[in-house]
Amino acid sequence: MSSVSPIQIPSRLPLLLTHEGVLLPGSTMRTSVDSARNLQLVRSRLLKGTSLQSTILGVIPNTPDPASDAQDLPPLHRIGTAALAVQVVGSNWPKPHYTLLITGLCRFQIVQVLKEKPYPVAEVEQLDRLEEFPNASKTREELGELSEQFYKYAVQLVEMLDMSVPAVAKLRRLLDSLPREALPDILTSIIRTSNKEKLQVIAIRPIRRITHIPGTLEDEDEDEDHDDIVMLEKKIRTSSMPEQAHKVCVKEIKRLKKMPQSMPEYALTRNYLELMVELPWNKSTTDRLDIRAARILLDNDHYAMEKLKKRVLEYLAVRQLKNNLKGPILCFVGPPGVGKTSVGRSVAKTLGREFHRIALGGVCDQSDIRGHRRTYVGSMPGRIINGLKTVGVNNPVFLLDEVDKLGKSLQGDPAAALLEVLDPEQNHNFTDHYLNVAFDLSQVLFIATANTTATIPPALLDRMEIIQVPGYTQEEKIEIAHRHLIPKQLEQHGLTPQQIQIPQVTTLDIITRYTREAGVRSLDRKFGAICRAVAVKVAEGPHKEAKLDRSNVAEGEGCKEHILEDAKSESVSDTTDLGLPPEMPILIDFHALKDILGPPMYEMEVSERLSQPGVAIGLAWTPLGGEIMFVEASRMDGEGQLTLTGQLGDVMKESAHLAISWLRSNAKKYHLTNASGSFDLLDNTDIHLHFPAGAVTKDGPSAGVTIVTCLASLFSGRLVRSDVAMTGEITLRGLVLPVGGIKDKVLAAHRAGLKRVIIPQRNEKDLEEIPGNVRQDLSFVTAGCLDEVLNAAFDGGFTVKTRPGLLNSKL
């Protein structure tokens, strides 16, 4: 396996045409076989042959791609390398092909091609044999001296590298163990050389080869002007990274210079250094601190949300007074579709900062936040550092979306990893595992969003400033629809206000009869459905016969714009006879809604549900906003058992047992009896409590007052008022305790068209957050005990004598 080869090869060799590289004697290469000629060669010689000679091939570098399967044999390079096929691996996907592992033996020259099909076979002449030279002994002596010099030169170059790297140490040992004459070919295959240079090495004779390759090796170390590593080193010198990071980069670039490109660590180190120079260590944007302009911008982008916009303006005001103010850690908590994410984008726009969103829903690996250590294959920085690289500044607005939906797994807890990121006292020194140096996050404005705080770990919750973003009222939804949603949908569907009009009364119909949500996402989708239906009519054009009833167009309300298909050609002229312009906008009313969106989804009146005793309306809070919740009760002969259905949690089951115990202890006071007239309500009587929407899990203490009212209605035979809803936790002594989510619950009652809401007395302070128009439409009863709840829930009160302490106020 030397440059002057003692190996004897056959005089006839099958030719394997390769286009993936140049094989040199003494080196090993993998090559893909997928052309027809090469496939026939492998099947005939390697897979069926049994002798050693059948595994020896002639490897010819081929510039044209042999996969083209041209009929004629392409021009061949006259010098090739005889190779031994060490391994054959085959596969049928996506098409039949083989992968060969071949080792170079010696050079040969093609004398003539004997046949071309099914694979080429040539008569060859072996090169590098001493018999070629007229004075063999003198040639051997000269080659020996040159080879020894080449060995010393190669050792000197290798020892310049980092000998602590295993691959470098192995290369050093390889230099000692290989024959001196084999070193030129092996080193040429290792160093970074082009195929053209390797072809030149194959073509020249041994003595010239040994004197030619050192020049190539010197070019590998000295061609710095065009080397990317030199450019990388210049970027490190001119970067504004901190001193600690700069020291790390200088150390790594020195290691990279000594490292062969074939080492796996080469690419990892280079990627690390490129990230370090791309990070915005000291690059930032200048904040726009005009508070008046910021107020106008926020008001134009978002309707309502006064509390949230106030907090942003406060930050701007303080930022004007103190330039080095640390970025606040805000958390917007509210139901879906209320604009939490879009507000974060508006905040960045208001400040003139870059914006980057990081979706945390379902993330269950701490490496997503802190990054992987560089000892792992495929390691990469975390999402925080990656986001900084993307935006290119160190003071962006980072939106941590769905922070309440973080997971936990064997790979760690990402919520715990966020503790360092979201702590203003620690994040100035944030250390990503991949970087392994500190990065200052104190100027980043972090905004997290969540639907609920219940699933956020307390330690993480403590680091954030919680800002509640409640659902919208009907009036707010109407304004949002006509300011933002409808114009957006018209633009997305290529429509203009001259082609379609949606009055506010129609918008109210969509809100109350087709959507019941805290946000406006479903409302936006309904407008999209309307625009698609109108786009079909507009696209059909006036040549399609359509009769339009435009009566009462001028009045706006009560107008009818029915699009009726008509086969009569005189329908268009009928429109002209009305004296109206031919291009009138299609105006959407309730009848058009029914044609486009189908029957209303929420048609059942609340009063119909409360048409018999044993039904009451409660108020519940969910991550999607407030909801009204019906509670139904029935009794039958039995053994005094209480049955609860509706996927109830343990807390709600306990509330039901509390309610029945309190009623049993106060049965005589309220004259409550069972079917047989006994004050023992469970005597020979079974009670069944049901919470409809059984597919939805329900839990929490706030249904206590509703369960008491429902059972009191059942045993008294009296109907609960159909316009009243209630919420509150109860005790065994009949006290009403405060609960959370009052604003969302009140908005749910208002959406359902109810008029009276019973809340715990200690929640009266929460009414200040209710919008003024909602307070005007509702009557609030604050109750401190169950007596007051029952008196407010039934017409004429529930006790024989109404208690004077009842507070019934219209706010």
Tell me whether residue 505 is annotated as binding.
Answer: no
Sign for the pseudo-dihedral over CA of 241, 247, 250, 251: negative
Structural contact between residues 715 and 655, judged by C-beta atoms closer than 8 angstroms: no
Half-sphere exposure of 540 (CA within 13 A, CB side): 11
Residue type, 360: L
**CA-to-CA dists, residue 641 to 137, 175, 212, 660, angstroms:** 113, 90, 100, 11
Q: First vs last Cα of the chain: how many Å apart?
A: 99
Q: Taking a C-beta distance cutoff of 8 angstroms, is the pair 58, 80 a contact?
A: yes
Q: How many other CB atoms are there within 10 angstroms of residue 599's CB atom?
A: 9
At 761, which helix (H) or strand (E)? none
Total residue count of the chain as it appears in this document: 811
- What's the Cα-to-Cα distance from 311 to each of 252, 298, 306, 332, 335, rounded to whole Å? 45, 12, 9, 11, 19
What's the CA gap between 406 and 400, in Å, rounded? 11
Under 8 Å between Cβ of 96 and 75? no
Active-site annotation holder among 477, 698, 743, 745: 745
| 524 Cβ neighbours under 8 A, 6+ residues apart | 485, 488, 489
* Residue 227 Cα distances to 220, 221, 258, 519, angstroms: 10, 10, 14, 56
Are 751 and 728 in contact by the 8 Å Cβ rule? The answer is: no
Report phi then psi at 492, rounded to 5.
-65, -25
Rg (CA), the chain: 41
Q: How far is CA 516 from the centre of its chain?
A: 28
339 is in an annotated binding site: yes
**115 annotated binding-site participant:** no
Closest CA to 339 of 307, 292, 313: 307
Flag whether 724 is marked binding. no
Pairing between β-strand 56-61 and β-strand 12-18 as defined by DSSP bridges = parallel
Question: Which value, to the nearest 10 degrees, does the dihedral of the CA atoms of residues 83, 89, 92, 95 take?
Answer: -30
Q: Active-site residue 44, yes or no?
A: no
Structure token digits, residue 91 = 């596969």
d(CA 216, CA 33): 31
Is 745 an active-site residue? yes
Q: Is 335 annotated as a binding residue?
A: yes
Measured CA to CA in angstroms, residue 616 lies from 280, 377, 661, 664, 691 at distances of 60, 61, 18, 19, 10
Question: How deeply is 304 buried, as exposed, middle or buried, from its count of CB atoms within 10 A (0-12, 13-18, 19+)?
Answer: buried
Please state, in angstroms and rounded to a whole number, the distance separating the CA atoms of residues 23 and 659: 88
Q: How far apart are CA 477 and CA 462, in angstroms?
A: 32
Q: How far is CA 582 from CA 97, 116, 498, 542, 563, in A?
A: 68, 78, 12, 9, 14
Query: Which residue bears the tokens 């059972």?
Result: 711
Tell me the torsion sign for CA atoms 732, 738, 740, 742. Answer: positive
Q: Give backbone dihedrals phi and psi of 641, rounded to 5 degrees, phi first.
A: -95, 150
Identify the H or E element spanning 144. Answer: helix 136-158
State the catalytic residue, choosing from 367, 702, 713, 743: 702
Interacting residues of 530 by C-beta distance below 8 A, sequence separation 6+: 489, 500, 502, 588, 592, 593, 596, 597
334 known ligand binder? yes
Q: For the chain, give percent helix, strand, coil, nearest 5.
A: 40, 20, 40
C-alpha span between 91 and 241 (Å, rounded): 50
Cα 66 to its chain centre, rounded Å, is 43
Residues annotated as catalytic (active site), given as ranges: 702, 745
Q: Which residues are annotated as a binding site?
A: 334-341
Q: Which residues are annotated as a binding site for ATP?
A: 334-341
